[in-house]
Amino acid sequence: MRVAIIGAGPAGLVTLKHLLAAESALGVEPVEARLFESESGVGGTFLARTYEDAELVSSRQLTSFSDFRCKDDEPDFVSAKRYIEYLNDYCTHFNLWPHITLSCPVKSVKSRKEGGHVVTYLLGGQQYSWECDAVAVCSGLHVEPSIPKIEGIERVPVVFHSSQLKRRDQFGIGKTVLILGSGETGADVSFLAVTSPTKRVVMCHRDGFHFAPKRNPNPRLVFSRRRSPLDRPQVPIDVSRASLFDTAYVHPWLRNSNALWKYYDCYVRSILWTSWGTIDGIDQWIGGKPKGWTTSEIFFNKSGYKLSPYFNAVWKPKTPKGIPERVRSWIVRTPNTEEICHGRQVDLAPWPERIDETGTVVFRDNGRPEYSYMKDENIKPDVVIFCTGYTHQYPFLGDHRRDPRYYEGKLVRQIWPREDPSLGFIGFVRPNLGAIPPLAEFQAQLWVLNLLAPGRVASSLLPSDEPHYQLVRKEHARIRYGVDHESYAYQLALDMGSAPSFGDVLRLGFSSSNGGWYKLPLTWALGANFNTKFRLIGPWKWDGALDIMNTELWDTVARRQIFFGHFTLSFVPMLIFGPTSFVVFLYASLCHIFQYLLQLVEVNMWKRSNDENRGNGSY
């Protein structure tokens, strides 16, 4: 089989690796795979669209591929530059370079009537074609910057999109900088601007946002010991969620309900108030997520942890208000981060209505406190930066297939069209609190398995198993492919037969050394859905997975603090959802038994009626 991969970002590289590994892992014929990349190096968006001091918002423990881990002595959050080095090392380790063609943009992908595809590409100024049986689209959607129309924007001296930002000196010296957008890029760019020699920084948002910490909150309780500078930092928040009774061993009735979301919504609110006294976000006293939105709808902004102190100068109360807040602030000692700002601040403003004739911004009235504060301010920006994302298309697919909206509701597990499994879309999901690379690895594993050995797919890939991992989206939402990281990862593992049972975990734990008899079960139950967890069994089983689980990932779980870690994120939800799942399983079993008995009664009544009719000569 011949397979083309378009794009050499993390999704393209991990897809190529699994295609090449399929012969030994799945026992299929060798695959001839070719990867086409338009840039001069691998890395995708991490290579082409990063800026000075860029750092991954997802942890290395979660972001690393299952069988090629970052070094243990590296920080939890690596720089974008280091991650590109990691991807290059990945290509070298698995000998991917002979199958990668750089500086080679794909111009078109056309399906053949007899099956397969024809990929047309440019190389060295010449156009070539390659016939193949399947195509994996991992190209980052050939994105174009999205620039919303703002009346009078031409009156600002310098205007550009965040994709053009590479260095701090692009802000200028003594300039007023207006940042349009409050997502992770907007937060990063605002932080870069306020820590540069700018005059004033204003960040605009449309309808609220939610700053999330990169690490699990861990304020010091009044009765606890003072922390030593040698204490290890709290575990990253994206690997803090326990899987037992959250994704593992959850009855479909409970899984498909809103109960888990309601719990985590209450948890997020309570832990934010306990830690900082506000429920809007990490030490976030202005902005706040849109009214009525819950954790089932929002993307957590983990870049906000650096930026939130710069908002607090105006909005954070100087002293606790009310008895509950006084008691909370006495018991929970959260470090004061405003002192690191050195008097600098970022102003929050609504979205601009227009730029008037004098170059002054006129803001929309969004009914929020920041409008009252900013409406009379004279903001004349010298620099405007659009941190407004990108427009998404697949131009090389042509006609109606170029628009991602064409595929809404038509993709199996958001990976391939149900009518054409030979066309895969890898890496086009956005997790609420996780990372795209590990999800791309799960997607690549399932797509390759279904493509080359469909008989080994463990589930029937029913559409009814999809809504539970999809984030709720509004009709006007720009991002329409949001997923809950943990739920989506576990569903794909179930589909492949890669999710170990508790019996599998115990068996593997007792067969291993270095304390595996207790480390493996605890890492499996209390750990997040690391991709290595699902290499213990199944079609992509890897012999090194057990060692990683008992060392690196065990260490990650063991690092959690007792109260603001194991208790709040593991034991409490287990105590709630464990018995709840048991009751639901019991109730569902009784319902099935009752239905079975009812069917038996109906069958017996039908037989009796037939016998009576025969006796009366009705036939």
Task: Give every residue of the chain whose pLDDT is below 50, as ranges.
Answer: 230, 619
Q: Does the residue 349 lie in any domain?
A: no
| Number of domain units in the chain | 1
Q: How far is CA 162 from CA 38, 151, 182, in A?
A: 20, 20, 12
Pair 437, 11: CB distance under 8 Å: yes
Beta strand pairing status for 411-412 and 416-417? antiparallel
Q: Does the residue 167 lie in any domain?
A: no
Pair 518, 509: CB distance under 8 Å: yes
CATH label of the domain that carries residue 77: 3.50.50.60
**427 contact partners, CB below 8 Å, separation of at least 6:** 7, 9, 10, 11, 12, 138, 140, 436, 437, 439, 440, 443
Q: Does the residue 275 lie in any domain?
A: no
Q: Does the residue 444 lie in any domain?
A: yes
List the domain range (segments joined by +) for residue 396.
Answer: 2-143+392-457
Tell me the torsion sign for CA atoms 313, 319, 323, 328.
positive
Distance (Å, rounded) from C-alpha 564 to C-alpha 219? 8
Name the H helices within 131-258: 184-194, 252-255
Distance (Å, rounded) from C-alpha 206 to C-alpha 476? 13
Distance (Å, rounded) from C-alpha 173 to C-alpha 563? 46
**What residue ranges in 408-513 does DSSP mark as E strands?**
411-412, 416-417, 423-425, 430-431, 482-483
- What would the pLDDT profile of 49-101 be if each residue is shown by its tens digit? 888 888 999 999 999 999 999 998 899 999 999 999 999 999 999 999 999 99
Distance (Å, rounded) from C-alpha 220 to C-alpha 197? 34
Distance (Å, rounded) from C-alpha 415 to C-alpha 422? 10
**343 contact partners, CB below 8 Å, separation of at least 6:** none
Q: How far is CA 201 from CA 91, 347, 381, 389, 443, in A?
A: 41, 6, 9, 20, 40
Q: Does the residue 368 lie in any domain?
A: no
Type and span of the H or E element at 354: strand 352-355
Q: Does the residue 104 lie in any domain?
A: yes
Distance (Å, rounded) from C-alpha 127 to C-alpha 129? 7
Tell me the torsion sign for CA atoms 398, 400, 401, 405.
positive
Pair 304, 284: CB distance under 8 Å: yes
- What would the pLDDT profile of 486-508 be if each residue is shown by its tens digit? 999 999 999 999 999 999 999 99
Q: Give me the pLDDT at residue 389, please.
A: 84
Q: Hey, what amino acid is at 558?
A: A
DSSP labels for 358-426?
TS-EEE---SSHHHHHHTTS----SEEEE---EE---GGG-GGGGSGGGGTTTEETTTEETT-TTEEE-
Q: Does the residue 106 lie in any domain?
A: yes
Q: Give me the pLDDT at residue 64, please.
A: 97
Q: Does the residue 217 lie in any domain?
A: no
**617 contact partners, CB below 8 Å, separation of at least 6:** none
- Tell me the two tokens of residue 466: 């999809």
Q: Tell me if residue 252 falls in helix, strand or coil.
A: helix
Q: Give me the pLDDT at residue 475, please.
A: 65
Give the HSE-up count for residue 163: Cα atoms under 13 Å, Cβ half-sphere.
12
